[in-house]
Amino acid sequence: MDSLEYRMICKKGEGTFSEVLKAQCHKSNKYVAIKCMKNTFDSLEQVTNLREIQALQRLSPHTNVIKLLEVLYDQPTGRLALVFELMDMNIYELIRGRRTYVSEDRIKSYMFQLLKAMDHMHRNGIFHRDIKPENILIMEESLKLADLGSCRGVYSKQPYTEYISTRWYRAPECLLTDGYYNYKMDMWGVGCVFFEIISLFPLFPGTNELDQIQKIHKVMGTPPQQLLDKMRRY
């Protein structure tokens, strides 16, 4: 992996499968975000078949989806890094510990941009599956959806992975069925993010899956029997 092209500056964040570094490109002097994957890859074909890379290429360019600038793959070590445009922060960082509400105009603008990103993804046959404040990046007035590592094709075969998306933003059909959910789960996540950016606290902060369902029922009410029966069939 040719790290000589970039000067590493600091670590921006870390997840289960990757860590994100802030870096500067020596040629252009521009700052970028480099997502270093923790897994290793046996071949270039395995890299190009990654869902995240395929999805980003299919969705690009779009104003509200993060732009993949370069794929850095080092065959001898199997290491892979994805170079992205750098944003200032994510929505979680915007609202964490905040004492004053985000202005109504800014919330409207951010939510409109997030919905445009969702519309673009779904129209192109991809759903995200992990909509949460940490995966929504902002820079001043601009918002971009990021981290497509969990995405799936809208028309791919069910059942999907049961444990998907962060619990607080997980739709009821993800919690109550054995993987029978679809792209609509993204919109549930969008609704949870909308509430959180307005109120500055999460809507359904469940401590486990059962508590998550109970918190949803407290706010939304218990679903009608017909809907529960439908979920039980899956």
Measuring CA to CA, how many Å separate 39 from each of 16, 47, 54, 175?
Answer: 10, 11, 18, 28
CB neighbours of 216 closer than 8 A, spacing ≥ 6? 172, 204
Q: Nearest to residue 82, comparing CAs of 104, 101, 60?
A: 60
Phi, psi of 149 (to 5 degrees): -65, -20
For the record, the structure tokens of 89 come out as 């922060």
For residue 122, which amino acid is it? H
> Is 167 in contact with 209 (CB distance < 8 Å)?
yes
Q: Is 130 a catalytic residue?
A: yes
User: Residue 153, class by beta-carbon neighbours within 10 Å (0-12 exposed, 13-18 middle, 19+ buried)?
Assistant: middle
Q: Nearest to residue 65, comparing CAs of 170, 140, 148?
A: 148
For the record, the structure tokens of 155 come out as 């028309």
* Residue of 74, 105, 130, 186 marked active site: 130
User: Which residues are known to be catalytic?
Assistant: 130
